[in-house]
Amino acid sequence: MNNQSVTQMLINYAPLIILFVIGWFFGSRHERQHLARLAVSEKSLAHIVVSSERFYKPTLEANSEGELVLGSVVIAQDYFKMVVARVLNLFGKNLTTYETLLDRARREAVVRMRTQAYEKGYNHIYGLRLEVSNINQLGSMVEAIAYGTAVISTERRKPH
C-alpha cells in the first residue's frame, strides 16, 4: 500500500470517524447529565418510603386509602455505544452499555412514580413492581415501568 492510497483511505473514513467521536462525546455527556439529575431527584424524593414487599401494609393515617401510582419511561442509548457493545459481545465481555441503559431506565421510572405519589400527597409506596422491555430489536431502547400502591402512612422509617 502506497502513501497515496493510505491518504485516500483516511480521507474517505475521516467523516465517519469524526461523527463517531462526536456522537460518543455527546452521548456520554447526556448520560452523565441524566445520572446527575437522577441523583438529585432521588435525594429530594427520599422521604417517600418505597417497599417491594407485596403483602406489607404500613400503618395508615385515618381515612387514608391506597391508590395506584406509576412511572414509565422510554430511554435510548446512543447508536455509537451500541456499536461498541456489539463488538464487545463478540468477545463475551460485560455489556456495561446495556447495564447503564437498564439502570437509568429503572431509576427514572421509580423517580417518576415517587413524583406522582408526592404530587398526590402520599408518603409511602408498597408493593413496588418493575417491568422492563425492549422497544426495538437492537436493544438500544427500553421501556421501564414502576408501579405500586401509594398511601399516607404514619410510619416515618423504612420497613424491615
In this structure, what CATH number is given to the domain that contains residue 90?
3.30.110.70
Task: Note if the pTM is more than 0.75.
Answer: yes
Task: Examine residue 110 and state whether it is found in any structural domain, yes or no.
Answer: yes
pLDDT of residue 146: 97
Task: Examine residue 127 and state whether it is found in any structural domain, yes or no.
Answer: yes
Buried b (16+ CB within 10 A) or exposed e, 44-70: ebeebbbbeeeeeebeeeeebebeebe
pLDDT of residue 16: 80
pLDDT of residue 58: 75
pLDDT of residue 160: 43
Q: What pLDDT, in 10s, does the model give residues 110-142?
A: 999 999 999 999 999 989 999 999 887 766 788
Task: Examine residue 91 and state whether it is found in any structural domain, yes or no.
Answer: yes
Range of the domain at 88: 3-151
Task: Examine residue 159 and state whether it is found in any structural domain, yes or no.
Answer: no
Task: Examine residue 158 and state whether it is found in any structural domain, yes or no.
Answer: no
The number of domains in the chain is 1
Task: Examine residue 106 and state whether it is found in any structural domain, yes or no.
Answer: yes
Task: Examine residue 87 and state whether it is found in any structural domain, yes or no.
Answer: yes
58 membership: H or E segment, kind and range: none
Task: Examine residue 160 and state whether it is found in any structural domain, yes or no.
Answer: no
Residues in the chain predicted with pLDDT less than 70, given as ranges, are 1-2, 89, 93-95, 138-139, 156-160
